[in-house]
Structures are given as structure tokens and as C-alpha cells.
Amino acid sequence: MCKRTPHIGENCYGVVSTYKIDGTFTDTYNCDCKSLLADLDKDDVCLLLTRIIPFQAALATGLFTNAHQQMTLLYEQQQATFKADYTAIQTRYQAIEKGLQAVLTHTPLAMFIVDDKEVITYVTGCSLITLGITDQNPLGCHIDILACQEPKIVGAVRTAFMGEDVIVVIQRETQTFEFHCILLTNKMGVRGVTGVLLEITEQKSSLPGTLSHVTAADRELLVLLAEGETNRTIGFSLGIGPKAVEKRLTKLFGKLNVRTRTEAVSVAMRTKLI
């Protein structure tokens, strides 16, 4: 039976740099493109992803639950037959990594975590690239500049440490970003703060004039979306069928001028609809 723990996300997402939010650097990993997720076990990654932004909860939880079940079944089968098929195990790991890669690289966000000592770690994502931060650049320098130029970031992190969920909008040249910060806690107390920069330029420019048409029923639907509910569970909660759910979602997306659940929840949170 293989004892190796999965380094989920290893060598997938780019460079990681850590530093104190007062600008003091601690460690920089610019050579091996090491992901923050590579240092976390399954439960930690699940917690990190599900707390960053609510609309990723269903995807992340489903991904890890399914992956864990598959790996457990595979191990049990191998233990029963006294065979360790390392090729099959590696294939499972690769499938998990591809799923995580989709979460990070196909969402216009940059995510980070700040531990209880105020050491901040950025992980490359689509929005970091649009801010000029790429794997080819010394990431730490860019992060330091970004934090200095955007005092809202440091302020929001410290506000989050006081137990408040923080959402602020940051404008950089022609682009607009939504900054969302959430406190991370467990049974031992405060673990840190998780944050995300989500690009909202397109949504912001097309939003005015649509919110007056959002009804109480629409808000209820948005809450369910933010909680990561599927169409099936939404229908069960509202007492309607799957086709009715799809119809209501289509109508809601039209009101908010968005195309996906992700965009709908982002707009709802930014405009205080939920």
C-alpha cells in the first residue's frame, strides 16, 4: 500500500512567495514553482477552497469527497489483492490535480492565505497575471508593490482578523477587482485569513439599472447559489422541479446580466443583495 501523501497542485499553478503583511519577506520559492496547495493535506485544502468564495464550495467539496472515496476504494482493493498498482494511484493524483487546476486557472481570481502570524502567501491565478504577476517575474517583488499600492488589502486583512467578512472593490487602471477576505478558524482558534481577488470589470460595466428588478424570490435563489447548492437541492428547498429551477436561473442571470453562477453570486455579494 502506497504511503505517499498527495501533493495536490504541485507544480501546477506557479510561484509562491510569503511575507509579512508589513512588507517583511520570509521565504520565496521562485525556482520550483511550488504551489501552496502542495504543503496542505486534503482537509486543509478543502477548508481553504470552500472558505475562499462560497460559490466554489460545491465544486471543491465534491471534488475532494469524490477523490477521497476513489483513493480509499483503490487502496482497499490493492490491500485485498496484495498488489500496489502505482500507475493507477498516480493516475488518480493527476485527475485530482487537473480538477484543482480548473478551479484556479479558469476563474479570474488570485487567492492567498494569511496565517495567525500575519505571514501572507499568494498563489498565482488568472487575476495575478492580469496584474502583471507571472511565473517569469520575481513574484515577491510584485506582491510587495501590490500591497504597498493597495492599502485596502492590508486594512481588509486586519479587519478580517477581528472576525468580520470583508468585501472591498479595488480599481487598477482599466480593471476592477473585488477583494473578499474571510477569517479561517478551527477548534484551536484562529488559523488565519483567506482572501481572493476576483476580476469584475465586465460585470461592473454592465450592471447598472438591473438591480431594481431583483425580487425576494430571486434573493432566496441567490442565497442557495452562494451556499453551493445544486439544481436538485435548490428544487427540493423551493419545492419546484429541475426544469423550473433552470428557468428561474436563466431569468435571474438575465436580470443581473451574468452568464454563470459564479458571476451571479459575485454580483449579489458586491451589491449587498445577499
| Start-to-end Cα distance in the chain | 47
Q: How many CA atoms lie within 13 A of 136 on its CB side?
A: 2
Contact yes or no for 218/135 (Cβ under 8 A)? no
Helices (H) and strands (E) in the chain, counts: 11, 7
Mean pLDDT for 117-123 is: 52
Residue showing cell 500575519: 118
Q: Which residues of 51-78 are buried (b: 16+ CB within 10 A; e: fewer)?
A: bbbbbbbbbbeebbeebeeebeebeeeb
| CB-based burial label for 43 (10 Å; 0-12, 13-18, 19+) | exposed
3-class secondary structure, 212? helix
Per-residue model confidence (pLDDT) at position 70: 58
Per-residue model confidence (pLDDT) at position 226: 78
Output DSSP code: residue 66. Answer: H
Q: Which residues pair with 101 in a beta bridge?
A: none
Mean pLDDT for 38-63 is: 44
Per-residue model confidence (pLDDT) at position 207: 53
Check pLDDT > 60 for residue 177: yes
Check pLDDT > 60 for residue 100: no
Range among 19-33, 89-103, 175-189 with highest mean pLDDT value: 175-189
Check pLDDT > 50 for residue 18: no
Indicate whether this model's pTM tops 0.85. no
Taking every pair of C-alpha atoms in the chain, what is the biggest distance, in angstroms? 65
Per-residue model confidence (pLDDT) at position 149: 57
Task: Walk me through the domains of the chain, giving residue ranges and CATH numbers.
Answer: 16-199 (3.30.450.20), 203-270 (1.10.10.10)
Per-residue model confidence (pLDDT) at position 170: 73
Mean pLDDT for 81-104 is: 57
pLDDT in tens, 232-248: 889 988 899 888 998 89
Per-residue model confidence (pLDDT) at position 31: 27
pLDDT in tens, 59-91: 444 444 455 555 566 666 666 665 555 666 566
Residues 6+ apart with CB under 8 A from 225: 55, 234, 261, 264, 265, 268
